[in-house]
């Protein structure tokens, strides 16, 4: 019965060894590969079964062999040793990989090492695909915002214009009582307010100035819109060293949306009276620096948790190679820094 159990256990071990998604090697005390699963063989450009008998050191790029020899020199090591390495394929090409090594111990002796290999190229390609998907989704959202802004402006704008014209005709009608005249004037005022609000909403969805005039003009428009209903004053310092400078559309859109979300957060949470916004070339970066004198918050209490708005800002920044840093403390306001590599600058690009 015990032999049957051992045979079943061994079969399960070999099935797991052969079918895992990672490359697995067993290396003996002479550095020879005594077992290699099919994934490890394919990863290194060999047919299944061909790696057995090869020296493991032949698979390691020269500059990484010392790390392996150091591991071999310390058989007392317990647990899993993890490192990033470069391995070579049968055709001489190289690939980045993550290696995890574990000593296999039999009766207190540690002669063999189990090597777990994961091709980082696959991970990098997956990250690139995810990044491209995120970029595609964000740009699709922006296109939908632009479409919605156009439809709102064209359809509702026309309706409001028609109402305004009809009210104008009623106002000119003869024998109009004073009460009705006041009612028509109030209605006209409400229509004007609705039209202003519609224009503000459309600019928020997709600011025409961003496409037509660039990021500096768009920020000026955004600041005026926010200042109309905000309890704080916005101070702008917009200096890109060149009035004709245009960034790639994605970079300008990132700066605009990050600042838009920042001002919305100040409006909702900060209880600030002053906001200072600076956009400039600094060293090799494009820098957006937005700070307020509001109540601030404890960064340690929010570490590990980011709301949808903050998460969206980080996502946008990463898609253009930028980084966001937030500084805040209770009672000392909040500062947001967005840095985008200056190499992304292009003149005359829209």
Residue 68, pLDDT score: 87
Q: Which two tokens stand for residue 56?
A: 């493991």
Rg of the Cα atoms in the chain: 32
Across the range 103-109, mean pLDDT stands at 73
Q: What does 91-126 look like in DSSP terms, one character per residue?
A: TS-EEEEEEEEEEEEETTEEEEEEEEEEEHHHHHHH
By the 10 Å C-beta count (0-12 exposed, 13-18 middle, 19+ buried), 315 is classed as middle
Q: Counting runs of H as helices and runs of E as strands, what totals does the chain give?
A: 11, 12
Across the range 92-104, mean pLDDT stands at 90
Please tell me the distance from the alpha carbon of residue 155 to that of residue 149, in angstroms, as a whole number.
Answer: 10
Residue 78, pLDDT score: 72
Of 9 and 235, the structure prediction assigns the larger pLDDT to 235
Residue 244, pLDDT score: 57
Residue 263, pLDDT score: 94
Q: What is the pLDDT of residues 304-316, one digit of tens each?
A: 556 667 888 888 8
Please tell me the distance from the alpha carbon of residue 218 to that of residue 213, in angstroms, as a whole number.
Answer: 7
Please tell me the distance from the alpha carbon of residue 230 to that of residue 200, in angstroms, as a whole number.
Answer: 14
- What's the whole-model pTM score? 0.56
Instruction: Select from 320, 337, 341 the least CA-distant residue to 134.
Output: 320
Across the range 202-218, mean pLDDT stands at 82
Segments in 44-119 forming alpha helices (H): 65-72
Please tell me the distance from the alpha carbon of residue 50 to that of residue 41, in angstroms, as a whole number.
Answer: 7
Report phi then psi at 34, rounded to 5. Answer: -100, -15
Q: Residue 187 — left, alpha, or beta (φ > 0 → left; ψ -120 to 50 → alpha)?
A: alpha
* The length of the chain, given as a count of residues: 350
Residue 349, pLDDT score: 37
Give the number of other Cβ atoms within 10 Å of residue 101's Cβ. 20
What is the residue-averaged pLDDT of the chain?
83
Across the range 60-85, mean pLDDT stands at 83
Q: Which two tokens stand for residue 42?
A: 């394919």
Please give the domain boundaries of the chain with CATH numbers for all domains. Answer: 2-121 (3.30.450.20), 209-350 (3.30.565.10)
By the 10 Å C-beta count (0-12 exposed, 13-18 middle, 19+ buried), 100 is classed as middle
Please tell me the distance from the alpha carbon of residue 294 to that of residue 289, in angstroms, as a whole number.
Answer: 16
Please tell me the distance from the alpha carbon of residue 267 to that of residue 275, in angstroms, as a whole number.
Answer: 10
């Amino acid at each position: 019965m015990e032999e049957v159990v051992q045979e079943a256990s061994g079969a399960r071990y070999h099935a797991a060894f052969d079918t895992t998604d990672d490359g697995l090697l067993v290396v003996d005390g002479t550095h020879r590969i005594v077992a290699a699963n099919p994934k490890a063989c394919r990863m290194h450009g060999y047919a299944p079964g061909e790696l057995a008998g090869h020296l493991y050191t032949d698979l390691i790029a020269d500059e990484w062999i010392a790390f392996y020899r150091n591991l071999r020199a310390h058989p007392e090591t317990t647990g899993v040793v993890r490192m990033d390495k470069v391995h070579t394929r049968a055709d001489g090409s190289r690939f980045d990989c993550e290696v995890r090594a574990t000593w296999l111990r039999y009766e207190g002796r540690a002669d063999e090492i189990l090597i777990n290999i994961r091709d980082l190229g696959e991970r990098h390609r997956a990250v690139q695909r995810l990044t491209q998907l995120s970029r595609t989704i964000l740009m699709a959202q922006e296109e939908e915002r632009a479409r919605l802004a156009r439809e709102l402006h064209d359809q509702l704008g026309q309706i409001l214009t028609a109402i305004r014209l009809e009210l104008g005709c009623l106002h000119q009608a003869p024998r109009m009582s004073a009460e009705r005249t006041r009612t028509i004037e109030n209605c006209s005022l409400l229509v004007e307010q609705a039209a202003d609000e519609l224009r503000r909403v459309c600019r928020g969805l997709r600011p025409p100035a961003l496409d037509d005039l660039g990021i500096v003009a768009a920020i000026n428009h955004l600041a005026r819109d926010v200042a109309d209903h905000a309890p704080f004053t916005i101070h702008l310092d917009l200096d890109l060293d060149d009035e004709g400078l245009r960034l790639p559309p994605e970079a300008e859109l990132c700066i605009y949306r990050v600042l838009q979300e920042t001002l919305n957060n100040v409006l909702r949470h900060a209880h600030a009276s002053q906001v200072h916004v600076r956009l400039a070339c600094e060293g090799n970066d494009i820098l957006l620096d937005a700070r307020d004198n509001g109540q601030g918050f404890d960064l340690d209490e929010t570490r590990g948790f980011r709301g949808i708005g903050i998460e969206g800002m980080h996502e946008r920044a990463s898609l253009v190679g930028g980084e966001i840093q937030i500084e805040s403390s209770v009672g000392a306001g909040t500062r947001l820094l967005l840095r985008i590599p200056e190499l992304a600058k292009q003149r005359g690009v829209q």
